[in-house]
């Protein structure tokens, strides 16, 4: 199998979601300073990062939306690793909202559903913040009813951030224990079916969101 990286690179000053703080990366121990602590020719770098969980490509756990919901430490690895995947290539869709009818032609139970909108082309620019595609409430309800395991999108948010402030996709999916992964990239490299998706955060208690290294394994060509 070949592996496709689906994560944005995190760096000092990266703006993922306008209005949220960017990561700050600073040295704790520089290589130069470490030389006095170790044998000649031996040196190390140790760095600090101050980061909001909503940075880069990240996962939302139920704790993000609901007090008492499952936090990052409680997520089952079986629901995060090597998930059979259905990718919906929607970059030419006429509407911002992704409707339930998008999903009618495929079996989805137990699968990761990845929404390829092409919006990642704007990541890190002002254009990323407005006009972004999103999953509609009816689309959310359909995916919940189908029993999907995870929903990912390469857009600003799984919900419409230009609406009245309601978040039906987050609310519905996370209440059902369905993981949400936002700010994916490179979904155009995946086939509609057959890939295996992985997105694992660190095991942090009382924390709802965190960056992941998201990737997909592609089936071997025959």
Q: Which neighbouring-strand residues pair with 218? A: 2
Fold of 2-6+53-218: Glucose Oxidase; domain 1 (3.50.30)
Task: Give the global pTM.
Answer: 0.96
Closest CA to 143 of 118, 106, 183, 117: 106
Q: Are 198 and 215 in contact (CB under 8 A)?
A: yes
Q: 20-79 pLDDT, tens per residue?
A: 999 999 999 999 999 999 999 999 999 999 999 999 999 999 999 999 999 999 999 999
Q: 111-142 pLDDT, tens per residue?
A: 999 999 999 999 999 999 999 999 999 999 99
Say yes or no to pLDDT of 221 above 90.
no
Q: Given strand 193-198, what is the order of strands in its sheet?
A: 2-5, 215-218, 193-198, 83-89, 112-116, 150-153, 179-182, 58-60, 209-211
What is the structure's pLDDT at 1? 74
What is the structure's pLDDT at 46? 97
Say yes or no to pLDDT of 176 above 60.
yes
Residue 128 burial (C-beta neighbours within 10 Å; 0-12, 13-18, 19+): buried
């Amino acid at each position: 199998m070949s592996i496709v990286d689906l994560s944005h690179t995190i760096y000092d000053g990266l703006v993922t979601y306008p209005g949220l703080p960017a990561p700050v990366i600073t040295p704790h121990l520089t290589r130069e300073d470490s030389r006095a602590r170790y044998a000649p020719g031996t040196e190390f770098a140790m760095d600090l990062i101050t980061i909001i969980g909503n940075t880069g490509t990240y996962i939302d756990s139920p704790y993000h939306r609901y007090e008492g919901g499952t936090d990052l430490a409680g997520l089952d690895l079986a629901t995060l690793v090597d998930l059979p995947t259905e990718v919906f290539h929607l970059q030419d869709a006429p509407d911002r909202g992704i409707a339930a009818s998008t999903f009618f032609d495929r079996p989805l139970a137990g699968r990761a559903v990845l929404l390829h909108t092409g919006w990642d082309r704007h990541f890190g620019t002002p254009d990323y913040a407005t006009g972004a595609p999103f999953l509609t409430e009816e689309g959310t309800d359909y995916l919940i009813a189908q029993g999907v395991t995870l929903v990912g999108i390469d857009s600003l948010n799984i919900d419409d951030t230009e609406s009245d402030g309601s978040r039906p996709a987050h609310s519905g999916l996370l209440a059902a224990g369905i993981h949400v992964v936002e700010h994916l990239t490179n979904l155009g490299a995946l086939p509609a079916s057959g890939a295996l998706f992985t997105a694992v955060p660190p095991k942090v208690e009382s924390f709802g969101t965190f960056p992941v290294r998201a990737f997909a394994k592609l089936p071997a060509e025959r």
